[in-house]
Structure 1
Amino acid sequence: LVRAKLDFDRADQLFKEKLIARQEYDSRKASFDALEAGVREAEARVSQLKAQRGQTAAQLAASQKRIAQVQAGLRRVSDVLQKHSAISPIDGVVTNLPVRVGETVVPGIQNSAASLIMTVADMSLITAEVKVDETDIVNVKLSQVADVTVDAIPGKTFKGRVIEIGNTAILRSTGLAASQSAISSQEAKDFKVVVALDSPPESIRPGLSCTAKITTATRTNAVTIPIQALTVRQKGDLEAPADGKNGNVQAAGNADPKAEKARKEEIQGVFVLEGEKAVFRKVDTGITGATDIEVTSGLKEGDEIITGSYKVIRTLRNQAKIKVDNKAPVKTES
């Protein structure tokens, strides 16, 4: 356009000086006018395109806002959908279903009863929770072998191993931890022990009652006696009465305290049959079974010991004459 304007201005000057023909002047003027009109048209198109660009930018911003709104709605619906679908974190069997269709549950509150919709048990590891008396818990160790019997599956014994030993005593009467109860500490207590079954049957279900026998120790070629044959006597009761010349007993006020304490010392032992007399013999014991106890010293294989009811053994005196009766006791109907 600038070049065309320069050509037109030169032609105009030459035409005024009558140096060129009018026809050439008109041609250059028409060429300049055409180019000027094209520039104006281009500028108009640029202005139109700028307006369209602004409109397109406004449409883009509106579309982006609509996308953000749709994404927010999608997140809300997805959150609602996730709350409607309960996904178990483990594979297992549903053992408890406290709610039914139509009931209201409260999500996200673990301590609320309304938030529990089901209980899933992991059946890949079957465990038995048993209670062990406080006098026996000191002998229980991890990985010890146990024989588990299930009440619902009679006649079968399942092998297992100890995988957990509780550290808190549980009161036998209430089932609460001893540290959380105000009951006297003299009450009997148990400890929880968890036994994992090695090969549980497919028919077993959570919550079944069971009993476990844990093998805490084993002995081979051991001398054993029935537990009911083991008794305790004071040392003074086992001593033969002294034959004093005057036949008088020493007054209690003049008794030696050390001698009296020695006489009251308790000795553990059994009564052994020697001839027709029951002779008390001190023994040392080892591990204890369900009905028998190991004797580590004081007896040898072949010794005949005296056994019977607790009352008979407790009242039996040393060197007392007895009559051997190995017949089974007859049960009397009450």
Structure 2
Amino acid sequence: MLRPPQVRLVTVEAAAPRQLRASVLASGSLVYQQQVQLSSEVIGRVAAILVHEGDQVAAGQALLRIDDALSRAEVAQQQSVVRQQQINIDNQRLALANQESQFQRKQALYGHQMIATSALEDAQYALDQARIQLRNSAEALQQTQAVLKQAVDRAAKTVVTAPLSGTVTAVDIKTGETAVPNQVGYRGSSLLTIANTSTLMAEVSVDEADIARIKAGQPVAIFTAAHPDLVLRGAVKNIALSPQRNDGAAGNGVLARSYLIKLLLENANGVLLHAGMSCRAEIYTATAGAALSAPLQAILSPAGDKSSSAEATLGERSVASSRKRDTDASHYVMVARDGVVTRKAVTLGIADDERQEITSGLKPGDAIITGPYKVLRQLKNGDRVAAPAEAP
């Protein structure tokens, strides 16, 4: 009883208004919004490449030529088939005219009872047969003309043109190599890649636990590996409706799911950036301006509530930093007043990676005890404490 009370050394922080911004961290890469990877639609040897990587091209400009000798021979063959079919039609027309003339003569003879009925019927049958053969030849002509059109279209595809105006970002084939078209179950050879370099944007993956807080239009800070000290401002453009499934990423046979988020860049002019560069993004989901706050390690909860303890808060900071906590006053902080500890129940708001908003329970200037944590979790009302600068 005669022993003087023990004074514990602690660190304190005065409660003061600070701006907090809750955020979600994500990683991804830079991509072009308008980018086309061209592949061949016909098989053949590359005869000439008309552009180089970095060239500016216009829509419809010829980029590459594939050897068209086989295509030209096919077109010539089909043209010959069409001409032959036209000759057959002319022959069928002559035969039809002859059968009509014979039928008229036999009809006149039958009127004078000079031939039998069977002879007139045979003439009628021959006339009908000639008409059917002419129609059949006309249909065959249309078929051969359609085949010719297909051959002409294939021949035209030996010249690869630009589908949009932009920059040639990659040339993936060389003169003399064989261009192979895409087929079902088989990926063909890539020829060139064209992109509109003014449409550079970022694509990042956000975990399904955080996707509910992401909305279009939210501000974003983007950091690239090439310019780690440069902050690129942007905004959320759109959010994928279907998740990406990463097999085995979550362990225990569980499929981890993430959603692809597209981010617009607002101040990328004059910065040397390329598609494919890795980046990380901090998406700001909520803002509390001029709000009282406390460090995460200073916020405690009743013993036994491990999920809400300061220790758990530190271990799960990536999730708890942007999630609004319960407001049932189950959390508290320790405040030092005249060297004596007072426990104050607080109501929490949003949080960032380091601090938690205090919506009620504190006043500006209150000395919040922030550590050390081993001492902080053992403090009780009435304990004597002193900051290191105030120690006797």
Tell me the TM-score normalised to structure 1 length: 0.56
State the alpha-carbon separation in 1 of the partners of residues 147 and 348 from structure 2: 78
Deviation at residue 161 of structure 1 after TM alignment: 1.0
Q: Does 1:146 align with 2:220?
A: yes
Deviations for 1:85-124, whole angstroms, at most 9, x for unmatched residues?
Answer: 3334333444454443333332143753324334433433
Q: Which secondary structure does the structure 1 equivalent of 2:191 belong to? A: coil
Q: Deviations over 1:250-306 (max 9, x none)?
A: xxxxxxxxxxxxxxx993222211333433322111122232221111111111111
Q: Which residue, out of 161, 164, 177, partners 2:235? A: 161
Alignment CA distance shift 1:111-1:293 (3 Å)? farther
C-alpha distance in structure 1 between counterparts of 2:353 and 2:206, whole Å: 14
More helix by share: 1
Alpha-carbon contact 1:83-1:107 (below 8 Å) kept: no
The answer for the alignment partner of 2:153 in structure 1 is 79
Q: Tell me the CA shift for residue 71 of structure 1.
A: 7.8
Contact 1:226/1:293 (CA < 8 Å) preserved in 2? yes
Q: What CA distance in whole angstroms lies between the structure 2 residues aligned with 1:213 and 1:232?
A: 29
SS in 2 for 1:124: helix
Q: Does 1:213 align with 2:270?
A: no
Gaps of 5+ in 2: 1-85, 92-140, 306-327
Change over 3 Å in CA distance of 1:182–1:76 after alignment to 2: same
Determine the structure 2 residue equivalent to 1:268: 331
1:296 paired residue number: 359
Q: Aligned pair in 2 of structure 1 residues 235, 152: CA closer, same or farther (>3 Å)? A: closer
Conserved 8 A contact 2:238-2:263: yes
Cα distance change on mapping 1:170 and 1:284 into 2, 3 Å: farther
Question: What does residue range 139-288 of structure 1 map to in structure 2 within 5 Å?
Answer: 139-168=213-242, 175-176=246-247, 183-185=252-254, 190-201=258-269, 203-234=272-303, 267-288=330-351
Q: CA RMSD in A?
A: 4.1
Letter in 2 for 1:318: K
Deviation at 1:134, TM superposition (A): 4.3
Return the letter of the residue paired with 2:286.
A
How far apart are the structure 1 equivalents of 2:233 and 2:374?
38
Equivalent residue of 1:302, what SS?
A: coil
Match of 2:380 in 1: 318
CA change 1:277–1:111 in 2 (3 A) is: farther
Q: Distance in 2 between matches of 1:134 and 1:71?
A: 56
Matched position secondary structure for 2:161:
coil
Counterpart CA distance in 1 for 2:204 and 2:155 is: 42
TM-score when normalising by structure 2: 0.48
Quick check: which one's strand share is greater? 2
**Structure 1 residues 309 and 163, CA gap change in structure 2 (3 angstroms):** farther
Report the counterpart of residue 205 of structure 2 in structure 1: 131
- For 1:317 and 1:131, the matched residues in 2 are separated by 42
Per-residue deviation at 1:213?
Answer: 2.0
- Asked whether the 8 Å contact 2:238–2:262 carries over to 1, the reply is yes
Q: Distance in 2 between matches of 1:80 and 1:146?
A: 48
Other-structure match for 1:308: 371
The share of aligned pairs that are identical, in percent, is 30
Distance 1:157 1:134, change over 3 A: same
Question: Relative contact order (C-alpha < 8 Å, sep 6+): which is higher?
Answer: 2
- Structure 1: gaps spanning 5 or more residues: 1-56, 237-264, 328-334
- What count of residue pairs does the alignment treat as equivalent? 233
